Every structure is written in structure tokens, then in C-alpha cells.
Chain A
Amino acid sequence: EAQVTQNPRYLITVTGKKLTVTCSQNMNHEYMSWYRQDPGLGLRQIYYSMNVEVTDKGDVPEGYKVSRKEKRNFPLILESPSPNQTSLYFCASSLQIANSPLHFGNGTRLTVT
């Protein structure tokens, strides 16, 4: 089944403890991105990747890192999480930019205490 898989679905951690949220797609998509969703602020893009080894900042990249070493994987790294990074995170991918729909994972709910 074609899908975008995020892990974990739920994560509770403490301030400053490094964490990684994984994202994997099995559709050979070139484009991948990360979003966070917060009440009243909607969905905002954190980082995106046009292809392997090509990443760029979105609207709210501060406090996050990403890497794209393989086409299928696009992990989101929080080196030193803070409470303001408590949010619902989504990974998404599409075959191309111009003509292809964006497919979303099921989300990761992160709580930083």
C-alpha cells in the first residue's frame, strides 16, 4: 500500500532531550516536507526537500534539523526540544512539485515538558 509512515505517533519528552521523528514513503517521491499544526495557527511548513541531499527551510525552521540521505526517508530532528515545540507534526510527500498531490502521514503528537 502506498503510504507515508511516521513514527512514533505519540511522544512525550523533556526539555533538552534530543529526539528524532522518522518519516518514510514507499512511492518513490522526490519531494518531502514537514509541517507542524497548532490551534489558531494552522499548518506551517518547517523544512522541505526537493530530492536527495537537497533540503531547505520553510516558514518555521528554528529549532529543527532535517536530512535527506535516501529518497524514501526524511527524519525530523529536534536537537534540544523546548515546550514551544509541543505540537502535532505531519510529514508529507509528492512525486513532483508542479503536478502531483501531496500525501500526508498520520501525524506525530509531540509533548515537551
Chain B
Amino acid sequence: KQEVTQIPAALSVPEGENLVLNCSFTDSAIYNLQWFRQDPGKGLTSLLLIQSSQREQTSGRLNASLDKSSGRSTLYIAASQPGDSATYLCAPRSYNAGNMLTFGGGTRLMVKP
């Protein structure tokens, strides 16, 4: 069964810092890995999707990397802003276990002005 761990669980930083959020997973037989953002009480917004054959994906100030063999993904946020405050979730999509996405517990990020 896929297990996903996100470190740190919470992070508070001043505006402008560059951030690294970590995601590790136990089953490397994945189609892809997706990073999401969730604002309090709201749905999930897809940020980046990395295919299993890719090493990284970029969108604006966000860059996500994937090392499938070691079961790790990293989300890098450059020049953080207060509007980046949210919970960030990673979810690998496994070949096994019925093609399910398995979510990590998330990293709760607060960026202070």
C-alpha cells in the first residue's frame, strides 16, 4: 500500500524567502505525482503534475522535482508571498492499488508580510 509523508507538517516564514517542501512515498510504481494547494475550507487546486518519466516541472515561481527511484518529490517556491499561505499536498498516482491517488498529510504554510 502506498504511503506518503510530507515534511515539514507546518512552516512559517517571512515574505520573500525561498522554500522547499518535501514529499516521500513508498511505492515507486507510479504514473505521475501531483502537487495541490488547499485554502482553508476550500477545494484543492492543482499546481503541477509530473509524469513518472520527468524529472521536474515548472510553473511561475513553482518548481517541482521527482526522483521516482528514491520515492521523493520536492516543491520549490521562490520568493514567497503572503498569498502563498495555504496547505500544500502531494499525491502520487500508483499503478497498484487501483490507480488511486494517495495523499500526504500536507504542509501548512504561512508566509508573513
Residues of A within 8 A of B51 (CB): 98-99
CA of A37 to CA of B89, assembled, Å: 12
Residues of B within 8 A of A103 (CB): 46
Residues of A within 8 A of B34 (CB): 101-102
Q: Which of A95-113 contact B (CB under 8 A)?
A: 97-107
Beta-carbon nearest neighbor of B51 in chain A: A99
CA of A101 to CA of B34, assembled, Å: 7
Interface residue? B22 (CB, 8 A): no
CA of A103 to CA of B101, assembled, Å: 12
Decide: A59 near B100, CB < 8 A? Known: A103-B46, A107-B43: yes
Decide: A48 near B89, CB < 8 A? Known: A42-B104, A101-B49, A106-B42: no
Cβ of A87 to closest chain B Cβ, rounded Å = 13
Residues of B within 8 A of A35 (CB): 103
CA of A107 to CA of B99, assembled, Å: 22
Mark each residue of chain B from 99 to 112: 1 if its CB lies under 8 Å from any CB of chain A, else 0.
11111111000000
Mark each residue of chain A from 11 to 35: 1 if its CB lies under 8 Å from any CB of chain B, else 0.
0000000000000000000010101
Beta-carbon nearest neighbor of A6 in chain B: B43
Cβ of A51 to closest chain B Cβ, rounded Å = 12
Beta-carbon nearest neighbor of A88 in chain B: B41
Cβ of B99 to closest chain A Cβ, rounded Å = 5
Interface residue? B76 (CB, 8 A): no
Residues of B within 8 A of A44 (CB): 103
The answer, among A42, A45, A90, A97, for a CB contact under 8 Å with B31, is A97
Chain A residues within CB distance 8 Å of chain B: 31, 33, 35, 42-45, 48, 50, 56-59, 90, 92, 97-107
27 contacts between A and B (CB under 8 A): A33-B101, A35-B103, A42-B103, A42-B104, A42-B105, A42-B106, A43-B91, A45-B100, A48-B98, A48-B100, A50-B99, A57-B98, A92-B44, A97-B31, A97-B93, A98-B31, A98-B51, A98-B93, A99-B51, A101-B34, A101-B46, A104-B36, A104-B43, A104-B45, A104-B46, A106-B42, A107-B43
Chain B residues within CB distance 8 Å of chain A: 31-32, 34, 36, 41-46, 49, 51, 89, 91, 93, 98-106
